[in-house]
Structures are given as C-alpha cells and as structure tokens.
A and B are shown apart, each in its own frame.
Chain A
Amino acid sequence: MNGTELFVFSLLGIAVIIHIIFVNITMGTGFISAMARFLAWRRNDPSLEIMSRRVFKILVVHELFSGVWGTVITVVLAAFLPTLLAIAVDVMFFPLLIALSAIIIRIPTIALFWYTWGKIEPRIHSIIGFVMALSGFAVPMGFRYVFAEITYPHGVGLALQNLRDAARIEVFANPLYPPLILHTWAGALLVGGFITASFFAIKGNVSPKFLWIGLWHGIIFLAVQPFIGLWYLTSLNTYAPILYNNILGTATFNLLPMFGLKAVVFASLAAVSAFVWKKVKRGEGSVPRYAIALGPLAVLAVLAGEFINDAGRYPFLVLVKDAGLPLSVFSNLYIQIPYQLVFAILGVLVIFLGGFILTVYYALNKRFLVDMPEV
C-alpha cells in the first residue's frame, strides 16, 4: 500500500471501529433496558422501570453517534471506494435491505420508546421496547454479510463468474457468517451488561441491585464468547488463512500482540467480574469502586477484536483464500481527492465527538440526565 491507500484503509478502519464500539454499547444497553422495562411490568417492580430508563439514556447518547459514524462509513465507501460500494449494493442487495429495514424500525422505536413512556399502557410499551431492542440486533444481521464476503467472497466469487443472480442468494450461505454474527451478538450483550454494571457503580448513581443485573448479563456472555471466538478463528483458518495467520503472528502483519491484549482483557474482565460478584452478593451487598472498570474493559475487548478482524486483512482489502485484492482495485479514480477538505471534515467530526462526549459525561455527573424534567 502506498501512503494514500494506507490513509483510506486506516480511515475506513477507524470509522468502522468507532461505529462498532458505539453499536455494541447501544445494542447491549437497548436489550437490557427493554428487558428491565418488561420485568418491571411482569414483576410489579417499579425500581426496574427506573433502571430501564437510566440504562436507556446510555443508549440514546451513544445511538446518535453510532448513526453518524455509520453514515461516515457510507460516505467513505462512496467517496474513496466507489467500485467496492457498487459491487456491495448489487451482490449484497438483500442483506443490505435487511439492515436498512432494521435501521428503519430501530430509530423511530427508540424515539417512541422514550416519548411514549408513561403515556401508553405498559404492555404496549414493553412490546415497543422489544421491537426496539431486537431491531438493533437485526442491523448487524445484514451488515455482517458484507464483512463475511470481504473476508471470504463466497457469493462475490460467483458474481465474478457472471453468475450474479445465484451470487445474490449464495451470499446468505457464506460459511464465515454464522460464527461472525454470533460473535457480534454475544459481544454486544457482553458490552451492554458490563457497561450497565459500570454505570451503576458511578458515584451518585450507585445501585447494587441494578449493577448485579448488568453483571450477570455480562458474565453469561463472557463465558460464551471464547467458544464462539474459537469457532470463528478455526473458520478463518479454513476460509481466510491470511487473516488467521496474521492474527497468530505467523504472516507478514503480526497481530499476535493485539490478540494477546484481547486475551488479557478477557481474563481481566473475568477476574474483576468475580470479585464484584462476591461483593455485590446478588444485589444485596456493596458496590466496590473498581466495578467501574468493567465497562471500559468490555469496550477495550471489542476494540481489540474489531481491530484484529479489520486490520488483519492488511495489505489487502478483500481476502481471497491465500491471496487478496488490494484497496487500489476499488479506489476512486474519478476525481483528485481534496485531502484538505477531508482532513478539515475529520477534524470537525473529532472535535464535535470529543465535545459531545465531555458534555454528556458532565451532564451525567451533574445528574442532568437522571433528573431532567420529563416531556
């Protein structure tokens, strides 16, 4: 890769990783919020409704930015890699349609879930909550086909042989997809659980009961993830040996340190979870200060995992068994990219993102979000 290609590769990678981090937080917290709201109704426990509302605020804050970075990815693809986008919207027409339908359901139900709270019957409201939560999981259900195809072009391979109609169906049979989507879903639930646990360990927002609910969610999926991860890794060995060898450090781009970091983070999560579990005692005990580390550790695990999955294809963009297609194959050859504009826009995005996160955490700290008047 030359400098320009490396820049585009990195830009796309950074946008994907930021997007994935936000998406994991929103999917996980969305599920926990919906479940807590449902249980509040079924168990006649008002406190769970309070929990649901508080967790939902984490979702709202991060959902907005996951959406922005999703749009950034689309613009980066269209602007820098138009050929790749043209292939994707053709061969992966139906998976993208699934993702698009899910987004269409997801965002309005988020708004409806919040603004109809207390204005409609709990049963209907719980249903809206579950539609909101499950539609969040349906978004990667579509998009992960794209990731599976650029790692192992099962359907795209047929398209290149001019079997386009067959290719559009065959993408659904990509053998890398099942472990990848399960890994994604479990990761999101893991992150959602641990972020929730952390949230209720923040000073002024401490709640052993709510923390415990988040904690056991996180622990369940922490226990499941290594098995799904191993399945994905062995699938990579079969279908994407370049990525597999990079991950294990036996090829040109050594990602073993990053893989090791991920393993260490997982071990740390397990250890901290166990200590917190003992202290919290099923919501009846006290909350240790270090419980706040659970969320950041879970996010770090996602970051490391996604980095491995995306950067591990270097120096290619699309892997084809023992070879690959470099990024230059798909580059925008129609214009001279105005890099000054690109850098200016990226700068503004980063400034806004930083400023926004500071504002939100300041608001959380000042309890604005917890206590703000309800509409």
Chain B
Amino acid sequence: MLAGQNVSLLMPVSAFGVYLHAFFVSLTLGLPFVISSLLFVWWRTGDEDYYKAARITTGVLAVNFALGAIMGTLVEFGLVQAWPGSIYAVATVAFAPLASELVAFIGEIVFLVAFIVTLRWVKPWVSIGLMAGYFAFAGFSGVLITLVNSWLNVPWGTGPLASVLYPYLPSYGPTAFDIPVLVAVKLALVDSLLTAGTASQILQNPETAKAIGISPNDLFVAFNSPYGLASVAHNLSAAIIIGMAFAAAAFAYKHLRTGDTKYVKLIRPFLPILLILLILQPIVFGHNMGSAVAAYMPTKFAMMEGAYTTKQNPLISFLAYGDPSKPILGFDEFVKKCEMHGDITVGIVAAQVLPNYIPGPSSNIKLKDLCLMDLAEAQNRVAVINAVFYVKIGAGVVALAAVIGLVSATFNIGLLSRIVSAFSNRFGKRQLVFLFALLVLIGSVLPAVLGWYVREAGRKPWTVYGLLTPAELVTPVSVPPATIAIFTAVFTAMAFGGVYGMYLVATKPLLFVKLLRKGAGEEE
C-alpha cells in the first residue's frame, strides 16, 4: 500500500528534521541566558573579557537562529507537504497557536536584530532588555509549538472519543469538538485508505470539506491541556539547559586547550542558572511530565516502565499517581479492555453516532480487532522505549552530579570544593573542569534526544494519540526514494555546514582586514 511505503520513507526524514530543529532551538533558548549574564557582569565590572565573550556568543546565536528558522520552515512545510492530512489539524485545533506563532517569530527577529545592531551603542542594561525581549518571543514560540505537539500526544477536548475505540484510554477533557464530525473525518480517512491506498487526498475535495463541516467550538482548546502545560515547562527548561551546557563546554574546552583561566571566569556568570534548572528539571518539571504521561497516555507509560503485564512498583506508582499501592497497568490489562468490545463493528458504532451513516469499506471491521492490532504494534516497542527511557534518566543524573562538580570547581562552596580541589591536584584542574562541563553537556543533550524519542515513538502507532495513524495523514504522492535522499542530503549538509559555521565564529580569530587585503591582491 502506497501509504505504508510513504510512511516508511518519510517518517525518518521528518523525525530527523524535527531533531535538527530541536538542536538549534535549544541553543536559541539557552544562549540568551549566557549572553545576558556575560553582559551583566561586563556592565558591573567593566571587564572587557565578558563583552568579547558576549559578542562572540552573539555571532554563534545569529548563525544558529538562521539555522533554527530554516529547520523550522522545513518542519512546517514538511508537515503539510509530507503529511497533508495534518492540514485539517492546522485549519482547526492548531489555528490559534500557529497564527499566534507568527507574532512570536516576528518578535524574535525584531529583538534579535535590534540587539545585534545596537550592542555597544546603547547601555548594557538596554542590550540585556533587548535580549530578554528576544528570549520572551523565542520562548513564546516554543510554548505554542509545544502545545500543538502536545495536542497530537493528548488530543485534549476530544472527550471520550478515543476511549470508545480503545477502552483503556482515558477521556480527554471536556468535549470541545463536535464528536460526530470527528467520527465522520476518521471514517472518511479509513475508507479512503482501504480503497485508494492513501487517505489524505480527501481534503482536496471541496465537497468533502462541506460534508465534514464545522467541528471545534473552542479554538484555544490546545492551550488548556494539562499535558500541554507540563510539556511546555519540561521542554523549554531542557532546551535552555542544553544551550547553557553547550556554552559551558565550549569555554571549558578553551580553558583546557589554552590554560587561560579567563575561560573559567566566563562560565561563572551563568553557571548558577544552569545548576538551578538542572535541579528543578527532574524534581519539578520531569515529575509533572511523568505524571501527565501516566494519567493520559497509558500505553506510553507502560512502554516506559516495561510493563508487558500489570505490575507493582510502589516508588514509581507514588511518583506517577501519588499512590504507592496503585498498580502500573500493563498490556495484559489493555488486551482485556480491547476484548470487551466483543463483536461490535465500526459500522455499528458509526450508525449510533452519525444519523445519516452510509456503510463503507470499514463498516465490518471489528473494533476488538482494530484495538488489538494497534495495541500489538505499540507493544512491539516496549523493550526499546523502556531501555531508552532509563538511559535518559541515568544521563540526567550524570548531568546533575556533573554540574555540582563544575560549581564546586569554579566557586568556593566549602567541603565540596575542597573535595574537587583534591581531585584537581591529582588529575589537573583544566582536565577536571572540562570533564565536568562535558558530562553536563552529554547529560543534557542525551536526555533531550532520548526523551524526544520516547515522546514521539511512545505515542505510536498513532500520530494523534488514539485517533489518527500516520498512514491516514501521509501524502498520496508516490515519492521516489532518490528524491527524498537528495533532499535529505541537502538539508543535512546545510545543518552540518551551519554547525561548522558556528564553530568558525566561536573559534577563529577575526582576520577580516588581513584577508580583505589579501583577497584584494595586497600582499601581507
């Protein structure tokens, strides 16, 4: 079936694009803290080292912003081009967040350009204010995009619809959609998939649009999702941590290579913020995220905990549900729930919801079979998701320990600093500072990469959890693999070229005048 082939072909490309975008967005959100804290210390002390470091970091941020914007465009276009079924979501539940995102995007540009153009021409506190404005809009953009992604994970406002098909799923908030309309959309997609091999092309037919009609009655429903709010805090803090960890590792590396202690000095201004965020991330943000997954995405939670069968784990249950005696539901329990459907078919349910229902190719499909088939697909991922999740947790613990080590090595905080100093005497301070900074970076990036994998792969086999599958949304175009390979090569080359550009900006001394003369034929 063409839809299946396209899903196999386009899913990895889309995921790769999202990962690249997330990498650049992390720097976009984290570097403003680095730049602002460096400028603040420059303002208070007049030490030019801080200004120069802020200037170079600004150059990195500018290149990074361009790359983040382009990868964002790639994801945006990719979404509607590779997964045109998502146009329905963009035209309904994502309308308000994506329209608001325009304001965030333009705000980012205005403040970043204003910051770059006026740096050193205006007072430092004005520059810090402009950078804060930039961060506010960049953060706002992150909030909006995260809310849209969260709706795909937990389709808030669809009420009990998903639980009708999959009885182990909970209800998703007060109903903010006309449920019969959503059922009609789903049926139209499934029937088209069964007859034509692809489904999303139904949105091209104006008559279909007329027949579907208006569905959501609250266009801001994505903003009200408790899962969305937990995701926003968790994702944004992770991004900020990565950006700062990246800068700390870069300065520590320069310290390692040159032995110049000014690079340790440059880490200090933003290190306390990094420490606080790395403490808050697991205790507050990660905890809320985990609780939200446990509450709204039972299959993902079972995957994370490796629960093939229902099991007891008082610690996890206490953290997830606030009740140590509550069992972690496993796939055996979900199977039982599926079997409760008995011999009910799609047609029987559809006829109850849609007064004018005309039986189609999907009418005779048993809900039990559908439920068990999708469940089996989810269950296939348990081992991977479980392993990835716990590696992520472990990496986060490493980051927390390493940042405490880094703080102890760069500030005097009593006993811990004396312990680190003892290690410094043995292994060398330069090496130790770099090791801590590197571990903070690895311990920040790895959980983010793995966490995103858990987030995205954990909601499979659905794109919209419990409602829509990738095959129902993928393009009906028969895309030659060579075309996708070339396209992927282009954007991969640009991403790595961009990263190399950031490296050049951060590390190469400015040879402009020298090279200008050379380039213009004047010998050195």
Q: Do A119 and B479 have beta carbons less than 8 Å apart?
A: no
Q: Do A68 and B106 have beta carbons less than 8 Å apart?
A: yes
If A89-B81, A168-B477 touch, does A118 touch B497 (CB 8 Å cutoff)?
A: no
If A118-B511, A349-B102 touch, does A86 touch B522 (CB 8 Å cutoff)?
A: no
User: Inside 8 A of B107's CB, which chain A residues have their CB?
Assistant: 352
Q: Do B91 and A332 have beta carbons less than 8 Å apart?
A: yes
Q: Do B106 and A44 have beta carbons less than 8 Å apart?
A: no
Residues of A69-84 contacting chain B, CB below 8 A: 70-72, 74-75, 78-79, 82-83
Kindly state whether residue A353 has any CB partner on chain B within 8 Å. Answer: yes
Q: Do B513 and A165 have beta carbons less than 8 Å apart?
A: no
How far is it, in angstroms, between the C-alpha of A89 and the C-alpha of B114 when the chains are bound?
A: 36
One of B216, B501, B515, B517 near A112 (C-beta < 8 A): B501
One of B55, B100, B101, B487 near A375 (C-beta < 8 A): B55
Q: Do B511 and A65 have beta carbons less than 8 Å apart?
A: no
* Min distance, Cβ B243 to any Cβ of chain A, angstroms: 17
Q: Do A338 and B106 have beta carbons less than 8 Å apart?
A: no
How far is it, in angstroms, between the C-alpha of A349 and the C-alpha of B109 when the chains are bound?
A: 12
Which residue of B has the minimal Cβ distance to A64? B109
Kindly state whether residue B12 has any CB partner on chain A within 8 Å. Answer: no
Residues 330-342 of chain A: 1 if any B CB is under 8 Å from the residue's CB, otherwise 0?
A: 1111111010011
How far is it, in angstroms, between the C-alpha of A306 and the C-alpha of B408 when the chains are bound?
A: 63
* Min distance, Cβ B18 to any Cβ of chain A, angstroms: 15
Which residue of A has the minimal Cβ distance to B505? A115
How far is it, in angstroms, between the C-alpha of A356 and the C-alpha of B106 when the chains are bound?
A: 10
Q: Do B74 and A104 have beta carbons less than 8 Å apart?
A: yes
Residues 45-65 of chain B: 1 if any A CB is under 8 Å from the residue's CB, otherwise 0?
A: 000000000011011001101
User: Inside 8 A of A359's CB, which chain B residues have their CB?
Assistant: 110, 113-114, 117
Residue with the greatest number of chain B CB neighbours at <10 A, chosen from A41, A43, A70: A41
User: Inside 8 A of B237's CB, which chain A residues have their CB?
Assistant: none
**Chain B interface: which of A219-227, A265-273, A366-374?**
A366-374
Q: Do B209 and A103 have beta carbons less than 8 Å apart?
A: no
Q: Do A75 and B519 have beta carbons less than 8 Å apart?
A: no
Q: Do A373 and B120 have beta carbons less than 8 Å apart?
A: yes
User: Inside 8 A of B101's CB, which chain A residues have their CB?
Assistant: 75
* Min distance, Cβ A336 to any Cβ of chain B, angstroms: 6
* Min distance, Cβ B417 to any Cβ of chain A, angstroms: 35
Q: Do B510 and A119 have beta carbons less than 8 Å apart?
A: yes
Kindly state whether residue A105 has any CB partner on chain B within 8 Å. Answer: yes
One of A41, A104, A118 near B70 (C-beta < 8 A): A104
User: Inside 8 A of A165's CB, which chain B residues have their CB?
Assistant: 478
If A40-B519, A104-B490 touch, does A335 touch B92 (CB 8 Å cutoff)?
A: yes
* Min distance, Cβ B83 to any Cβ of chain A, angstroms: 9
Q: Do A349 and B204 have beta carbons less than 8 Å apart?
A: no
User: Inside 8 A of A348's CB, which chain B residues have their CB?
Assistant: 103, 106
Which residue of A has the minimal Cβ distance to B501? A112
Q: Do A115 and B504 have beta carbons less than 8 Å apart?
A: yes
**Chain B interface: which of A93-101, A174-182, A291-299?**
A93-101
Which residue of B has the minimal Cβ distance to A342? B99
Residue with the greatest number of chain B CB neighbours at <10 A, chosen from A89, A353, A368: A89
Kindly state whether residue A322 has any CB partner on chain B within 8 Å. Answer: no
One of B99, B203, B505, B510 near A86 (C-beta < 8 A): B203
Q: Do B80 and A116 have beta carbons less than 8 Å apart?
A: no
User: Inside 8 A of B96's CB, which chain A residues have their CB?
Assistant: 338, 341
Q: Do B110 and A369 have beta carbons less than 8 Å apart?
A: no
If A83-B204, A104-B74, A332-B91 touch, does A355 touch B515 (CB 8 Å cutoff)?
A: no
Kindly state whether residue B173 has any CB partner on chain A within 8 Å. Answer: no
Kindly state whether residue B67 has any CB partner on chain A within 8 Å. Answer: yes
* Min distance, Cβ A368 to any Cβ of chain B, angstroms: 5
Residues of B193-215 contacting chain A, CB below 8 A: 200-201, 203-206, 209-210, 212-215
How far is it, in angstroms, between the C-alpha of A117 and the C-alpha of B77 when the chains are bound?
A: 31
Q: Do B102 and A68 have beta carbons less than 8 Å apart?
A: yes
Which residue of A has the minimal Cβ distance to B76? A74
Q: Do B84 and A89 have beta carbons less than 8 Å apart?
A: yes
How far is it, in angstroms, between the C-alpha of A360 and the C-alpha of B98 when the chains are bound?
A: 27
Q: Do B512 and A118 have beta carbons less than 8 Å apart?
A: yes
Q: Do B80 and A100 have beta carbons less than 8 Å apart?
A: no
Kindly state whether residue B258 has any CB partner on chain A within 8 Å. Answer: no
Count of inter-chain pairs, beta carbons less than 8 A: 259
Kindly state whether residue A230 has any CB partner on chain B within 8 Å. Answer: no
Q: Do B516 and A49 have beta carbons less than 8 Å apart?
A: yes
Q: Do B90 and A45 have beta carbons less than 8 Å apart?
A: no
Which residue of B has the minimal Cβ distance to A366? B121
User: Inside 8 A of A349's CB, which chain B residues have their CB?
Assistant: 102-103, 106
Q: Do A108 and B501 have beta carbons less than 8 Å apart?
A: yes
Residues of A27-77 contacting chain B, CB below 8 A: 40-41, 43-46, 48-49, 61, 64-65, 67-68, 70-72, 74-75
One of B113, B476, B516 near A46 (C-beta < 8 A): B516
User: Inside 8 A of A97's CB, which chain B residues have their CB?
Assistant: 81, 483, 487
* Min distance, Cβ B111 to any Cβ of chain A, angstroms: 10
Q: How many residues of B contact A (CB 8 A)?
A: 89
Kindly state whether residue B219 has any CB partner on chain A within 8 Å. Answer: yes
* Min distance, Cβ A266 to any Cβ of chain B, angstroms: 33
How far is it, in angstroms, between the C-alpha of A335 and the C-alpha of B84 when the chains are bound?
A: 18
Q: Do A334 and B88 have beta carbons less than 8 Å apart?
A: yes
Q: Do B206 and A85 have beta carbons less than 8 Å apart?
A: no
Kindly state whether residue B325 has any CB partner on chain A within 8 Å. Answer: no
Q: Do B477 and A93 have beta carbons less than 8 Å apart?
A: yes
Q: Do B69 and A82 have beta carbons less than 8 Å apart?
A: no
How far is it, in angstroms, between the C-alpha of A97 and the C-alpha of B90 when the chains are bound?
A: 20
Kindly state whether residue A279 has any CB partner on chain B within 8 Å. Answer: no
If A78-B80, A334-B91 touch, does A86 touch B520 (CB 8 Å cutoff)?
A: no
Residues 241-259 of chain A: 1 if any B CB is under 8 Å from the residue's CB, otherwise 0?
A: 0000000000000000000
How far is it, in angstroms, between the C-alpha of A107 and the C-alpha of B215 when the chains are bound?
A: 38
How far is it, in angstroms, between the C-alpha of A67 and the C-alpha of B107 when the chains are bound?
A: 13
How far is it, in angstroms, between the C-alpha of A344 and the C-alpha of B502 when the chains are bound?
A: 37
Kindly state whether residue B313 has any CB partner on chain A within 8 Å. Answer: no
User: Inside 8 A of B80's CB, which chain A residues have their CB?
Assistant: 74, 78, 85, 89
If A332-B91, A349-B102 touch, does A86 touch B81 (CB 8 Å cutoff)?
A: no
User: Inside 8 A of A331's CB, which chain B residues have their CB?
Assistant: 209
Kindly state whether residue A87 has any CB partner on chain B within 8 Å. Answer: yes
Q: Do A335 and B214 have beta carbons less than 8 Å apart?
A: yes
* Min distance, Cβ B341 to any Cβ of chain A, angstroms: 30
Which residue of A has the minimal Cβ distance to B498? A108
How far is it, in angstroms, between the C-alpha of A70 and the C-alpha of B104 when the chains are bound?
A: 15
How far is it, in angstroms, between the C-alpha of A315 and the C-alpha of B351 when the chains are bound?
A: 41
Q: Do B74 and A100 have beta carbons less than 8 Å apart?
A: yes
User: Inside 8 A of A341's CB, which chain B residues have their CB?
Assistant: 96, 99-100, 219
Kindly state whether residue B485 has any CB partner on chain A within 8 Å. Answer: no
Residues of B471-517 contacting chain A, CB below 8 A: 475-479, 483, 487, 490-491, 494-495, 497-498, 501, 504-505, 508, 510-517
Q: Which residues of B contact A (CB under 8 A)?
A: 55-56, 58-59, 62-63, 65-67, 69-70, 73-74, 76-78, 80-81, 84, 87-88, 90-92, 95-96, 98-103, 105-107, 109-110, 113-114, 116-121, 200-201, 203-206, 209-210, 212-216, 219, 475-479, 483, 487, 490-491, 494-495, 497-498, 501, 504-505, 508, 510-522
13 additional contacts (CB under 8 A) given A89-B84, A116-B504, A333-B210: A43-B521, A64-B113, A75-B99, A78-B90, A85-B87, A90-B477, A104-B73, A108-B67, A118-B515, A121-B519, A164-B476, A335-B216, A355-B110
22 A-B pairs in the complex with CB atoms less than 8 angstroms apart:
A43-B521, A46-B522, A71-B73, A75-B101, A78-B91, A78-B98, A82-B88, A89-B80, A90-B201, A93-B479, A96-B81, A108-B63, A111-B62, A111-B63, A117-B512, A164-B476, A165-B478, A333-B210, A336-B214, A349-B103, A368-B118, A375-B56
Closest 3 CB pairs of A and B: A44-B521, A118-B512, A122-B519
